[in-house]
Structure 1
């Protein structure tokens, strides 16, 4: 947990990556979006403990890392919010909560539930508050990242997922380490600084194969590496970290232990939390998230999900609607609600403040303009797909998955009135 937080803001992304590599060896830290007040010097800042500022400053100076400055991170009010909402006919409860948001006060679970249940003009107020807060804290540049889905084999049998082992109709594929490293080199040439490696839990990728992939990407590109490859042992997480992996996305899906057990027959809720703790202890920047609209889920459950993200210090928050996948136990269930999905993004932004929240492919699958709309209600990240075309159509975690490429990503960013990172070569 970061105490008395300071932000290290570097003069370029390359210097930020150098600084993060040095800091992570000795000090607690988190990567967070740069607050808008500092301009677009580099889109990612390094959050550190106030007690470590002097030592880190000396270390980075000795290594000639170009730092713009070290800034205390303060909670700020959101002036002008109530003025923006003056034309709306708001309920007393929503108006009271908006007053607290304007003053920069913390919200309680019951208030999160009220925001998640908002309708009509109350709901519009939630969206406006989240978008204002996003702009105030982060600015208009959207963090654009690319993912490669390198295997759709999975040993698990999650009830909602089309990759589950009992789905015998799915055409399976695996990419070789060489193919994956080749895609990473393409990403680097496009101006990306992070690669997301995503797959089912595929035993074919042994520890040694994963290390080959991680080391190869680091050697050829020096990109940051985000892993989204399920549960491994603590020792394996440690080896991946030492080989060069930086971030780890291990979604909880739901903070309700009963719901978790229903959708994850092969997993244990407490074990998932323990693994998330291990990842932080090992120095990963961690990601999690939930599925909105699971059977039997309540808005209270969703509020608990958001609270858990804050309590665990989660840095990347993936929030997407449930979408049924063919040939799964939940294939007859209805999709998650679009408005509730948007409200979850908005409430997460209001409560969690300065974190990375993507506008998801699932949202764009549910509603064509979902990618743009997510950006308009608090999201600041899009992760698009660079999986080779011959494989892409078989990574069906849910049915009729939208194809989000760089062109569609940039179009959504611009339609939302936002900015594309200057480092991307488009």
Structure 2
């Protein structure tokens, strides 16, 4: 007797297949850039300042970035796709300051003004912080606040000693690729990352509700114990590099690199910047009242070492933002956890950042077995021939899932 396949079962198969296909291919996102005048109060009017493109990109998430230039009374909106984002970033947030808002969403062309709630940042808890800046002439005491300010988080930078407060999400969250950052509310997060000797960030962010969590003395002790002195015998050698250019980089830029040591290695690339320029030529600066927003090519690459206060806060992997496809990024930032893993290939999708390489020092005479290998003597034993195993797993999983769905429905 012929087997009967009911229409609803056919429909279930189609829907299941489409769902899996959607997960694999990603979402279509608006990909465009526009600019406009801001309102008299310096805010964006999303009713008149927005863009929705006929062309689109495909990604795990869609993004919208709103950058406001208060002196020029101009705002720029940029939209595109993102992949590899940390969890807990959906919605709109200030990116450290009121003039910068970043929005992320998941869904078909979700990065429009209505689905993004007109790009209004989420409301986050506020804390009271110490405010002081020795580079600007202040003397910052260890246990007292020179001044105070309120923000969504407090921060302290030990290089030059600066204390202050920030709005929304701190840059450290995206740099460390922290998952579910709001869950760390009330805690202190410290890190030290270095690209070159002149490019060092050494500080903390905190959200303790009792306030003044960024006192210099308290946070410096925490940084020394939890970051600088942690895992001293378990660190990775990393490439160290910081270069800027007007044209794309090639891997030969690493001929200029040095090395440093950290719990993790990182590499970051940006290929453009949002800028405003005067629409006309005027002799006097005050006569400029009409500005144009644009995306200008600007290439910057940073590679270095990262030390953190907790391995649980770091998520190895890459975050990519792009307007067309991931191989032509607007920006890409990767964190990895093996020796010299932050090479140029990580930016071109030719290396998997999550897989830990087998690292062996060059062979030395047995009489010197106890000696420490030189940084330049480290070699990576890349015994991978053919496709990377981590790349095969998703396709295998999808095939098995589809097979089970069809058998179950039929």
Give the TM-score normalised by structure 2.
Answer: 0.25
Structure ranking higher in strand proportion: 2
Give the TM-score normalised by structure 1.
Answer: 0.24
If you compute each CA radius of gyration, which structure gives the higher value, 1 or 2? Answer: 2
